[in-house]
Amino acid sequence: MMYESEGNNLSILAEFTALAGSLQGSNLNEDVRLKASAVTRSLLSALELPFERIMQDVVMNPPTLMAIRMGVQLEIFTQVSQNPEGITLQTIVEKTGASPILVDHQTAKDNIICADNMISPQSPDSAASMCCRVCQAARCTDIQALSFDYGNGRSNGGSNNLSLNKLVLILETSAPPKLQSSFAKNNNHVLSSVKDTPFQLGCNTEFSYFEWLGKNPDLARDFHQWMTLKQNATPSWLDWFDIENHLAEDFNAEASDVLFVDVGGGEGQYVQGLKEKFPDAPGRLILQDLPQVISAVDSPPTSVELASHDFFTAQPIKDARAYFMHWTLHDWPDEQFQSILRHIVDVMEPEYSNLIIHETIIPDTNCDLPSACMSVMMIIQVAGFERSEKQWRELLESVGLSKVVFHQPPISGEGIIEAMK
């Protein structure tokens, strides 16, 4: 019986191993891939012992972040990515001028970066000399080492590390101890000020997160690069939302010549996508953001007007068919949320102008882990958070928007919230 049980265990292990191998490079459709990922996480949860789960979250995750930081600092990801045939550890040492011990620690066969599948050790003998031990790119290596064309989101091999890695600096300053200290200082109440968050404690600053970015232009550029990357890596709302029937069909050129205003639209990826998908759409397309953001747009979207605008001031574009906002309102507590929207509501034509909000709609039950983590990150950095359908509806109705409709994406990601007055 013991041998039969052991045989079954080995059979299950072999099946897991074979399945993992078969999925490498597979072309699963997005729906199946996401569902399979969820099942896999459930499987891992079933296999892990409680102690192992706690060890992963508390002990292992922080060193992983530090190892990624060192991989960036030593340019390990860049060098491995630029050498498809592999690169020896000795070559990395020579190019970086770093300590051989430090490079060896970061790239050894059993180290964090390899264990976390950031790079792939190719030398079978981990005791071989540094001149013989070779590393090659793994699935995650290239994205750690790429620079991006901000205008179109295409990746370009280069020496600039992706903003995700640079943003690790910001994330670490708002680590859980800072979160605890910040809430303790506020008697464990919900934070209501963008200048009184764990971020201020972590970065030792009195500025809000976005003010701080404005005074650190290199990090601000990284931030917008990261936003561009994330937008290009997630399903586009233009692929599933019936924008023709919701916008263009009822466009009234006599009431206003503006079809679409992207409020706080960064470098214009979405308004450009709209123009490309519907090249014959009527009316003007306008991209709005702060002056420093608009002035930094290197390649303005074709046929799109650029306009400097602070959404805490009066909205200058009246009676547009649509006012669009993406990843904007989750950055703010309720009071600022309402202030931003009131300026838009003031210029909306009743039963014609449409407010379109493209953000996460937190489910009441079974919230996915990424959305839950993002909500906590918003609390840490800006005192905002991801909102449920009930919370969205209450806030929208509080500023005079009574016609509120929710649209969930067909697979995953942020939904669409429509509102009229």
The whole-number pLDDT of residue 143 equals 58
Q: Domain 234-420, CATH 3.40.50.150 — does that match?
A: yes
What Å distances lie between residue 214 and 202, 224, 381, CA to CA? 17, 12, 15
- For residues 260 and 47, the model is more confident at 260
Contacts of 121-129 with C-beta under 8 Å, sequence gap 24+, read: 122/86, 129/90
Q: Domain 47-161, CATH 1.10.10 — does that match?
A: yes
The Cα–Cα gap between 68 and 51 comes to: 25
- For residues 1 and 134, the model is more confident at 134
Mean pLDDT lowest among 147-151, 217-221, 348-352, 355-359: 147-151
Only one residue has tokens 């399903």, namely 235
Domain ranges of the chain: 47-161, 162-230, 234-420
Instruction: Choose the catalytic residue: 224, 309, 330, 343.
Output: 330
Nearest residue to 387 via CA among 322, 327, 312, 310: 327
What Å distances lie between residue 349 and 78, 259, 320, 400, CA to CA? 52, 13, 8, 12
Whether this model's pTM surpasses 0.75: no
In 3-state terms, what secondary structure has residue 362?
Answer: strand
- The DSSP bridge partners found for residue 258 are 284
One-letter amino acid of 83: N
One-letter amino acid of 382: V
Burial class of residue 248, CB neighbours in 10 A (0-12, 13-18, 19+): middle
- For residues 107 and 193, the model is more confident at 193
The whole-number pLDDT of residue 169 equals 53
In 217-336, beta strands by DSSP E: 258-263, 284-289, 305-308, 322-326
The Cα–Cα gap between 317 and 329 comes to: 19
Q: Between 269-277 and 217-233, two packed helices, what is the crossing angle to 10 degrees?
A: 30
Q: How many residues does the chain have?
A: 421
β 258-263/155-157 pair status: unpaired
**Mean pLDDT computed over 252-270:** 86
- For residues 72 and 263, the model is more confident at 263
Does the annotation count 224 as an active-site position? no
Q: Which residues in 276-301 are b (16+ Cβ under 10 Å) and which e?
A: eebeebebebbbbbbeebbebbeeeb
Only one residue has tokens 């179109």, namely 152
- Looking at every residue in the chain, the average pLDDT score rounds to 77
pLDDT tens, position by position, 204-223: 889 998 888 888 887 777 77
pLDDT tens, position by position, 298-320: 888 788 999 999 999 999 999 99
Q: Between 89-96 and 100-107, two packed helices, what is the crossing angle to 10 degrees?
A: 130
